[in-house]
Structure 1
């Protein structure tokens, strides 16, 4: 009778017809078994007959219409919610689910557990973050908050304002190569971390890149739309490249970025990075397998295998592993690719 219980739980009406219940069961159940199941629900107080004398007249008679006891139906789920409430972090509020249909609780439950685990491990954030960054930290899916109903769940749990999600993008930190600014075709490089930004800054004038942008982790996802506007080059032909840490989070940043804007992976930087020794750590990062697959599509098979193995081992390649000499070689490779100026 679970199928009937789930059906009447989700009905918005307060009554249900016998015919509807029979249709839910279909032909896979004998009338006797069906009738005994309905009578059990009546005995448990989940269904209340309306005018018991108006029945189908069969050997085991059933009323044509029943009132649904919503309070009794949701009693078990209420006890379950109260049980979990005792286990949850103090910042989490589940009162919404006590007053709504059980379907909300069932649908949101996997996310509620992940959110609680995040707060238990990290506490309430002390610093602002973009919605993709916070989404990736909590669920492992950078699109969950904005595109997959995550914001509504956080609001239901009373957490939306506590998690310090910032929708006001900061201005980009950009360096310009004045030698190339008047060229119609312009190449731009975005890097995830500040240290690599400053190393490249000294080399920018002798490179093929018109601009160098400090992505500041996830913040670039929110303000990438400002790049051409801040530089005043909306009418130019622009080709934008991205280089970040080679770990799950860096890959997720790039994946979110390229879905939002035509950004290419600066694969020459990564290929040079793969010649370095990977570092231990980053084992607690969320993993977006689709993002990894999309990232690997940019590399030859040997590189794909190396990247996959390193990440599987819980290791990673930080941008900072590249020295100034490495960066000079990389920039010369881009000169060769684009013809130089």
Structure 2
């Protein structure tokens, strides 16, 4: 509602008599176009008028939309929100109708998994509608879960090097870029083993990025990589963050894959670190919340060495190892 003074209200009729102005205001009151602001008090004249008024917005007729919501839309769309907010339905109707048509005429397409942007374009002819525009809000108002549209989210492609597609095989995930390239060169030079472990594929994890990119492993990896007999190994920095990345990865995907530490590489790091006078200091910003899952794969003596380094706020980077060590 908009507040207006009596003077402004009758400004267009200032040349009329006060009685005529009074009758004009009374007519607006009867038509419920205005109502008095009683706290403004009257103007002291006879007959009296209040000094200020609320201008009332005209109630819009949404009956056509109400009928449409009740009897026309797909039963897969919940209309409760829009029945309570027909003004919002009027604004969003274009997008709701497109969704309705898709659910009625093309529902078989939902059986085939598609990326978020692909499904968005399929329904609304806008590839970013679900991800960056109004799509999520429209679905929420329609009582539809994004997952029910059978979509998957795409990430940066998982960088990997295939040395052999023979199965079963060992796939090795590496936290950092340098070890990935060095081990790849090692395999390219004619070797098939890394620390006496036959290795068929190297995967570059890009630090914490592996958590997100690995979500698409079942969808995007080559068939040989998903062979049930394969073993997935992980090798990262020996610090809180590197251990944390492994534990998060192993926990998140434990129902699909068992991911285990690349034990010989970690032991090689420890052996080589014995000749290093001062190991680099751990960054204070590192998340030190790790469990015992990582350490459970190692013998007690190795665990003691690892924990001692961590407790001294030191760490061993993967780069301590190079091609001559593999």
TM-score by length of 1: 0.43
TM-score by length of 2: 0.45
**Relative to total residues, which structure has the larger helix share, 1 or 2?**
1
